Structure 1
Amino acid sequence: MSTDPTVLVAGGGATGAGVARDLARRGVSVMLVDRDGLASGTSGRSHGLLHSGARYAEADRDSAQECLRENRILTEIAGACVRETGGLFVRLAEDDADYFERKLEACKAAGIETERLNGEEVRELVPNVSDEVVEGFRVPDGVVYPSRLVAANAADAEAHGATVAPDAPVTDVTVAEGEIDAVEVGGAIDETVRPEIVVNAAGAWAGRLAKLAGATVEMAPSRGVMVAVEYDDLGPVLNRCRDPDDGDIVVPHDGQVVLGTTSVPVDDPDDYERADWEVERSVSECAAMLPSVADAPTVRTWWGVRPLYAPDEAGTDRRGISRGFAVIDHADEAVSGLVSVVGGKLTTYRWMAEVVADTVCDRLGIDAECETAVRNLPGADDPDRLDEFVERYGGANPTDVDVVDPSAAPTDSRVDE
């Protein structure tokens, strides 16, 4: 590397790649690094739902409205990185009718477009749905292919002058007189770099990276399993309309559906149990909505770890932790030049990146507007080009390996069997 970057972004998931793209488009010198291939952490091990906001509507209207806005933006700029499928919330006979009404009204209050359906109308839309479904409503959910999305963001960052380096872990951070002084980057970079600002976008691993600099980020990660099974022509995303629980979502792919998920606290996002009961429960609960998935052949199974931020977390049930995000300036801990972005959702990655980029530009005295909401991602309308980007930055991840390269057999490093 001939020149130290002004900003080092550590973490090559959706948010980190989004930050690199945003800053590079504003003319900032950026280096994006990740210890593995891009999107190999939480982003590429999700269920791939492009949220409409409906899941959060009654509990967190602000998050719901963020999801809705970003859903619409991604639909415009991301092309074949996303898929417009629509979504459907369904109530089974055993589910709380009052909750259904609250959810529906909350969606309307948040500005989420809905259409109420009776049981027969649901069955016309999804012919194999359970006979126990008594009603439902449509929402504008969709599907996101994170390997493509992250790679396209990285490619755009690189096209605007950024350095993008997968397989380049941050191994140490030196702080001198209360400011970031140097960062040791191994692997593909294998150098000491001296950025003015480090953006910690390491997701579930953000606490570890912060600790290298003597700062603190209180993460409360939880694991969840996803199971892809053979299934043709589901159509919309299926959500069970009840309090969030295991096995309450079915996400359509071409010739497959992804069933999920569970929520189990973990202490170490690299070393945790992959329990058979999670697979069995997710399949059986999803089968309550779509019975035929119970006997469908399993294509792949994988776990992801949610990067939940909970500085006041005391209990063990992490479903109630906010899916909002936080941007932390560690100058208050005498680590000036370190900015962490934690929490959030894949759907809102671009907005998270914009807020971080605004923060960084304010610190650098740069007056430049964000362009990422109105500029199409490169390759958006060319799936082959998107997939070339994916291979450039480390290959496809479990969430969308079937879409990025349907003929590829997932490797042990990316799929948990």
Structure 2
Amino acid sequence: MTVKTEVAVIGGGATGVGVARDLAMRGVDVTLLERGAGLNAGTSGRSHGVLHSGARYAESDPEGAADCLQENRILREIAPASIDDAGGLFVRLADDDPDYFRRKLDACREVGMEPTLLDAQELRERVPDIAEGVERGFAVPDGVVSPARLVAATAASAREHGASIHTDARVADIDAGTGSSKRLTVRVDDGPTIAADAVVNAAGPWAGEVAAMAGAELGMRPTRGVMVAVDYADLGPVLNRCREPADGDIVVPHGEQVVLGTTSVAVDDPDEFERADWEVDRTVEECAAMLPALADAAIERTYWGLRPLYEPDELDRGGRGISRDFALVGHDAAPGLVSVVGGKLTTYRRMAEAVADRVCGDLGVDDPCRTAAEPLPGADEPERLDELVREFGAVGPADSDVVR
């Protein structure tokens, strides 16, 4: 059986469902294909769940930081029940570079963040267990986002606007079209064949494999990072160590737990990669330098996530990139195929808008993006959101402890 659609979207994480929603709201016929049994099964569901203010990227990528800040504000408006307004702190310990601290603080101000400078005593008032060696810090508008709720609500909105969403739909092959035909044919294991005018490759770390199915090349350099959830209640803000990017520099509040992150190790195969004990140990040790009580806290769960990094960008940044910006890639070998790679959960809506703008331009669709103005389904209804999470099978390790 062949199903005809205008756009096929491959990948059911935040970016994929975001693209499906944006296109559907512009009147485009969309079919989304996710290989897993539920949505949110890849990078989105295995993140540490930070709603970034942009402070993490302010000095290295001010444009990306400004985008984070803008999207942070938008998501608070359209998806408040998916977000915990925890706030965030960047803290400098005695051994950390004071010049880096000043550069970070100045960069945050330059992108319009208005950070609040704090001395050691003020930091201790906000986080009583913070390390004795803390010297200075500043507060930023970070938050904590539930990927499961955000992905499920976005998928529900896409469906309400006419998108068709399929899980257990592993793509086996993509025919880029031959002769006079400009349509792409997407073959699904044990499922229908999809004939589409355009295909969006939003498969995250697997995007290179999807592009290869269509005879195209897409250089990917995925990296793994461990997240360690430990028992520690009432942290309050997201705690960031203000130093050059390194292992174990963030602690994220999650109800009665905190999630510690993370490492960055290149992987060759996103389906088969090592999960090393040293990463867990190092992450706990480094995070405990900020919050000593973590050293003896009970580990409740450990999970690894994969960053879908675009190789040319990572090579330009010399390895452990901090920008985490995204790239849109067209493919001469497969006209009509567009790949979106990189990025972060906080800017998923903006990424989807950029993809939809490009696809709509190719299709001759003039309708503008409306995703920043229209609230997501269940925007302020946590119970409804959790029903949607269950319906779409979207619960993941990032927030399995808080989604009811």
TM exceeding 0.5? yes
What is the CA-CA distance between 1:3 and the residue it aligns to?
4.8
Residue in 2 that maps onto 1:171: 172
In structure 2, relative to structure 1, the CA distance for the partners of 1:391 and 1:39 (3 Å cut) is same
Determine helix, strand or coil for the equivalent of 2:77. helix
Determine helix, strand or coil for the equivalent of 2:245. coil
Paired AA for residue 325 in structure 1: F
Q: Would the aligned equivalents of 1:5 and 1:31 in 2 still touch at CA under 8 Å?
A: yes
TM-score (norm 1): 0.94
What is the CA-CA distance between 1:82 and the residue it aligns to?
1.2
Q: Give the superposed CA RMSD.
A: 1.5
Matched, 1:33 2:33: yes
Matched, 1:67 2:80: no
Distance 1:48 1:236 in 2: 13
Residue in 2 that maps onto 1:410: none
Paired AA for residue 256 in structure 2: G
In structure 2, relative to structure 1, the CA distance for the partners of 1:79 and 1:314 (3 Å cut) is closer
Matched, 1:235 2:239: no
Residue in 1 that maps onto 2:355: 356
Paired AA for residue 157 in structure 2: D
What is the CA-CA distance between 1:352 and the residue it aligns to?
0.3
Residue in 1 that maps onto 2:9: 9
Residue in 2 that maps onto 1:224: 225
Matched, 1:183 2:216: no
Distance 2:184 2:385 in 1: 36
Matched, 1:215 2:216: yes
Residue in 1 that maps onto 2:280: 279
CA offsets 1:354-374 (integer angstroms, 9 cap, x no match): 010011111111110111001
CA offsets 1:237-275 (integer angstroms, 9 cap, x no match): 000000010000000011110000000011111110000
CA offsets 1:140-196 (integer angstroms, 9 cap, x no match): 000111011011100000011111111111111112238443110235xx0111011
In structure 2, relative to structure 1, the CA distance for the partners of 1:218 and 1:262 (3 Å cut) is same
CA offsets 1:320-377 (integer angstroms, 9 cap, x no match): 26411111121xx231110111111110000000010011111111110111001100
What is the CA-CA distance between 1:71 and the residue it aligns to?
0.3
Q: Would the aligned equivalents of 1:308 and 1:321 in 2 still touch at CA under 8 Å?
A: no
Residue in 1 that maps onto 2:137: 136
Residue in 2 that maps onto 1:415: none
Residue in 1 that maps onto 2:246: 245
Q: Would the aligned equivalents of 2:173 and 2:187 in 1 still touch at CA under 8 Å?
A: yes
What is the CA-CA distance between 1:318 and the residue it aligns to?
2.9
Q: Would the aligned equivalents of 2:245 and 2:322 in 1 still touch at CA under 8 Å?
A: no
Distance 1:161 1:2 in 2: 19
CA offsets 1:85-133 (integer angstroms, 9 cap, x no match): 1000000011111111111001111111200000010000111111111
Determine helix, strand or coil for the equivalent of 2:390. helix
Distance 1:290 1:48 in 2: 19
Task: Could you tell me which runs of 5 or more consecutive residues in structure 2 were left unpaired when the two chains were aligned.
Answer: none
What is the CA-CA distance between 1:80 and the residue it aligns to?
1.2
Determine helix, strand or coil for the equivalent of 1:195. strand
What is the CA-CA distance between 1:6 and the residue it aligns to?
0.7
Distance 2:247 2:68 in 1: 22
In structure 2, relative to structure 1, the CA distance for the partners of 1:348 and 1:395 (3 Å cut) is closer
Equivalent residues in 2 for 1:142-161, closer than 5 Å: 142-161=143-162
Equivalent residues in 2 for 1:321-332, closer than 5 Å: 322-330=323-331
Equivalent residues in 2 for 1:390-405, closer than 5 Å: 390-405=389-404
What is the CA-CA distance between 1:316 and the residue it aligns to?
11
Q: Would the aligned equivalents of 1:180 and 1:335 in 2 still touch at CA under 8 Å?
A: no
Determine helix, strand or coil for the equivalent of 2:281. helix
Distance 1:121 1:109 in 2: 24
Determine helix, strand or coil for the equivalent of 1:5. strand
TM-score (norm 2): 0.97
Distance 2:66 2:101 in 1: 19
Query: Identity of aligned pairs, percent?
Result: 62
Residue in 2 that maps onto 1:18: 18
Distance 1:283 1:317 in 2: 26
Q: Would the aligned equivalents of 1:113 and 1:140 in 2 still touch at CA under 8 Å?
A: no
Distance 2:55 2:145 in 1: 16
What is the CA-CA distance between 1:298 and the residue it aligns to?
1.1
CA offsets 1:370-391 (integer angstroms, 9 cap, x no match): 1100110001111111111111
Paired AA for residue 93 in structure 2: L
Residue in 2 that maps onto 1:342: 341
Aligned length: 401
Q: Would the aligned equivalents of 1:231 and 1:293 in 2 still touch at CA under 8 Å?
A: yes
Residue in 1 that maps onto 2:44: 43
Distance 2:388 2:268 in 1: 33
In structure 2, relative to structure 1, the CA distance for the partners of 1:310 and 1:384 (3 Å cut) is same
CA offsets 1:36-59 (integer angstroms, 9 cap, x no match): 121110000011011000000000
Paired AA for residue 103 in structure 2: R
Paired AA for residue 26 in structure 1: R
Equivalent residues in 2 for 1:87-98, closer than 5 Å: 87-98=88-99
